[in-house]
Amino acid sequence: MLKILIAADSAFKRQAISGIISSYENFVVVNISRNGVEAMKMIEKYNPDILILDLPIIILEVLTGFKRLMKYSPTPTIFVLDEDLKLSKTIESRIRNIGFKEFDYVVKEKGIIIKEAYSKIENNLVLKVKNLSTLKTENIRKKKAVLNNEIKTQPREKKKKNEVNLSQAPIPISKLQTNAIVMGASVGGPKTLTSILKDIPQYFPSPIFVVQHMNHFFMRQFAVTLRNACVLNVKIPENGEEIIPGNIYLSPGEKHMEIIVKNDKPCIRTFEGEPVNYCRPSVDVLFFSAARVYKENVLGILLTGMGKDGVAGLDAIKSVGGKTIAESQETSVLYGMPKIAAETHAAESIVPNYEVKDWMIKFAKNLKNEGS
């Protein structure tokens, strides 16, 4: 069960958010606070897994106690923001200055009935709660990894069923039919991906692989939306299935997706491994595997989102001669992942999302008469 603490400055907000959270069987609301001071006391008392704050940022900024509290008891936090505040370019730095390190946010639409505004953010809010829920245990996993490292001195002949492999060692394959395109996105991804992929033309020669940070329920809904918008075949792949050129493959929710070689043919592997960069599915898992199999014949695209997932994988693609691009700040809903890719030069080109389809169409290529 995920322990969730809610803080909001009106009775209606508290009721709306707690109603959403309480309707999910794996969530439990440990308490509800009316302001930031009360919230700080409750964090120390209940040690929640997730904190949801629907409080004015300007009020939180004067509560210096949050910096001390988040230093010694860091709590993944979701902010519920008004639409006009979200548009501020400084909102992420303002939140970090308050003391929050691991956070995300949802945005309430203005100009509509308040009740409807909260109803519209439900799916996004629940998704972000689940995405942030792994952060609390990450340090524990790291400590276990250190302790287990001593017994991992001998190389294993077989990879464990759920082991995540971020190696850059190339995987031999005699010939590839096409090159490949891999895409990764988080916050704001569904809308951005739909706007890009709907314009990819029929008879597109290359397979397209997409990792979107999302659970299985919402991924199924997203797959339906994408199928209705695209002329290409969109599917959530089965573990072990052979890759067909011109298909769009969506990572299963809560499972990693990677490209492997089976019987000298590129195939897809899906599995429930440990989160990477706090994410499952992880963009890095897909990107590293694409670099190993397709080598220079891969285009990596990192879109809007929070954190750094996909940056190392993008750099791996670049290191084997593949092409890499990241979405520009101009069109990013949240300029986190693509920003780091730009700053570290993992992305060779920075482009607005409305130009991404042109890069994909130009890159897609049939390799039937070429070696891999």
| Set 49, 104, 309, 315: catalytic member | 309
Q: Which residue from 57, 126, 114, 113 is spatially nearest to 90, judged by alpha carbons?
A: 57
In the annotation, is 133 catalytic?
no
In the annotation, is 186 catalytic?
yes
Per the structure block, which two tokens stand in for 154? 């001998």
Label residue 79 left, alpha or beta by phi (over 0 means left) and psi (-120 to 50 means alpha). Answer: beta
Q: Which residue from 226, 219, 243, 340 is spatially nearest to 284, judged by alpha carbons?
A: 340
| Set 33, 133, 186, 289: catalytic member | 186
In the annotation, is 9 catalytic?
no
| Set 33, 49, 133, 213: catalytic member | 213
Query: Hey, which residues are catalytic here?
Result: 186, 213, 309
